[in-house]
Amino acid sequence: MTLAEIRRFALALPEASEAPHFHYSSYRVRGKIFVTVPPEQTHLHVFVADEHREPALAMHPGFLEKLLWGGKVVGLRVALARAEPAVVRQLVQQAWARKAPKSLLSARTKGP
């Protein structure tokens, strides 16, 4: 999966934006980060909740690992070269939904 594909998908989510985060790129919803891209651009950091993280790790150990910050697990680290695009899109969607305000979530589920 390429960063261009991830960028298109992430920015298509309601009110998503891209902004720098120190030396990283980040995708945000109303200022809250749901994905970061480290400078080497070979991995993606996706900030999913525990209930999504653990099943994903069990099902896709070939390209997912725990993302640690200060000794605490905060999400998933995705190896882009080996990643399955459908799984990455689902994780990005889940991370967006975790950070999006409830009003934005309810508007998205109602649809056009």
Tokens of 33: 């980060």
CA distance 95 to 48: 5
pLDDT, position 106: 78
Please determine, for residue 107, whether its predicted confidence score (pLDDT) is greater than 70.
no
CA distance 73 to 32: 18
Pick the more confident residue, 105 or 78.
Answer: 78
Q: Quick check: 96 and 10 in contact, CB under 8 A?
A: yes
Please determine, for residue 112, whether its predicted confidence score (pLDDT) is greater than 50.
no
Average confidence (pLDDT) over 8-30: 97
Q: What tens digit of pLDDT does each residue of 27-75 get?
A: 999 999 999 999 999 999 999 999 999 999 999 999 999 999 999 999 9
Residue 27, amino acid: Y
